């Protein structure tokens, strides 16, 4: 799409003022590719960060984000403005990620996820392991667990706990109520905590007498 980028493909350009974005959007919808390139450079960093949190894989994120913007360009004439452009782009990216997850649902993939989690568990017990490596293995364990969750729980957890969105912001991105979002995020946290306990990354929680 052009433009100066940081390592990992994230453009350096700062977000555009709202008025400028509306003008660029109108020009992009009429087929002006330079206007679309400016919108791309503005929105790429946040979409990239969003998808990176969802996948935990930088190379895969690059691929899925490029696919998301390609899809958005094709669908741009149908963008009706009822949502903000940012929300609309996030929705397209989320659907691309969902389709990727669904394509991985096979017996072989499930066994591979389980194997990765067991390796991560062994790493937690290894002596003389440096903190950086340990943190990386723990992060891999969390993402391996995330892959086994239903997508509605996984998305809620990522948006709330990894990206740090408020319940209202995360709910808007998923098109659900803030209360529903909070319930999903809470259920996801509980399932992740139990799996981390099983793998040895967390000490089992003990009930304290009142």
| Same structural domain, 41 and 56 | yes
With tokens 């190379």, the residue in question is: 59
pLDDT of residue 114: 55
pLDDT of residue 7: 39
| Same structural domain, 92 and 161 | no
What is the length of the chain?
Answer: 210
**Which tokens belong to 180?**
């529903």
| Same structural domain, 149 and 167 | yes
Please state, in angstroms and as integers, the Cα–Cα distance from residue 202 to each residue in 53, 61, 138, 145, following that order. Answer: 22, 28, 10, 14
What phi-psi label fits residue 106: left (phi over 0), alpha (psi between -120 and 50 degrees) or beta?
Answer: beta
CA quadruple 119, 121, 127, 130: dihedral sign = positive
Q: What is the pLDDT along the chain (210 residues), one digit of tens a residue?
A: 444 444 344 444 555 554 589 899 999 999 999 999 999 999 999 999 999 999 888 999 999 999 999 999 999 998 988 889 999 999 999 999 999 888 876 545 655 665 665 655 555 455 444 567 667 777 888 888 888 889 899 999 999 999 999 999 999 999 999 999 999 999 999 999 998 888 888 788 775 544
Q: Say if residue 108 is exposed, middle or buried (CB neighbours under 10 Å; 0-12, 13-18, 19+).
A: exposed
Find the CATH number of the domain harbouring 35: 1.10.1740.10
pLDDT of residue 80: 87
* Exposure letters 176-199 (e unless 16+ CB within 10 A, then b): beeeebeebbebbeebbeebbeeb
How many Cβ atoms from other residues are within 10 Å of residue 125's Cβ? 9
Q: Say if residue 164 is exposed, middle or buried (CB neighbours under 10 Å; 0-12, 13-18, 19+).
A: exposed
pLDDT of residue 130: 57
| Same structural domain, 78 and 58 | yes
Find the CATH number of the domain harbouring 163: 1.10.10.10
| Same structural domain, 99 and 113 | no
| Same structural domain, 82 and 157 | no
| Same structural domain, 195 and 111 | yes
Does residue 151 belong to any structural domain of this protein?
Answer: yes
Q: Choose one of 75, 103, 131: the last residue of a domain.
A: 103
Q: Say if residue 21 is exposed, middle or buried (CB neighbours under 10 Å; 0-12, 13-18, 19+).
A: buried
| Same structural domain, 112 and 96 | no
Does residue 25 belong to any structural domain of this protein?
Answer: yes
| Same structural domain, 92 and 122 | no
Q: Choose one of 103, 127, 162: the last residue of a domain.
A: 103
pLDDT of residue 109: 62
Domain residues for the domain of 85 are 18-103
Q: Decide: helix, strand or coil at residue 92.
A: helix
Question: Number of structural domains, the chain?
Answer: 2
* Exposure letters 62-83 (e unless 16+ CB within 10 A, then b): bebbebbbeebeeebeebeeee
Does residue 6 belong to any structural domain of this protein?
Answer: no
| Same structural domain, 72 and 121 | no
């Amino acid at each position: 799409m052009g433009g100066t980028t940081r390592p990992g493909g994230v453009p350096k350009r700062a977000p555009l003022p709202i008025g400028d974005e509306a003008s660029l959007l109108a020009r992009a919808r009429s087929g002006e590719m330079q206007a679309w390139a400016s919108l791309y450079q503005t929105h790429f960093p946040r979409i990239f960060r969003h998808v990176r949190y969802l996948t935990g894989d930088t190379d895969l994120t690059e691929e899925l984000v490029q696919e998301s913007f390609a899809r958005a360009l094709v669908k741009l004439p149908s963008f009706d403005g009822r949502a903000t452009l940012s929300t609309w782009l996030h929705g397209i990216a989320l659907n691309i990620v969902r389709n990727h997850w669904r394509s991985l649902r096979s017996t072989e993939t499930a066994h591979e996820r389980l194997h990765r989690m067991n390796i991560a568990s062994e790493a937690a017990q290894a002596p003389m392991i440096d903190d950086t490596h340990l943190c990386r293995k723990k992060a891999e364990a969390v993402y391996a667990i995330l892959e086994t969750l239903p997508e509605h729980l996984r998305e809620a957890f990522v948006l709330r706990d990894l990206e740090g969105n408020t319940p209202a912001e995360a709910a808007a991105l998923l098109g659900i109520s803030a209360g529903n979002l909070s319930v999903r995020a809470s259920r996801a946290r509980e399932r992740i905590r139990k799996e981390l306990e099983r793998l040895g990354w967390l000490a089992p929680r003990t009930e304290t007498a009142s």
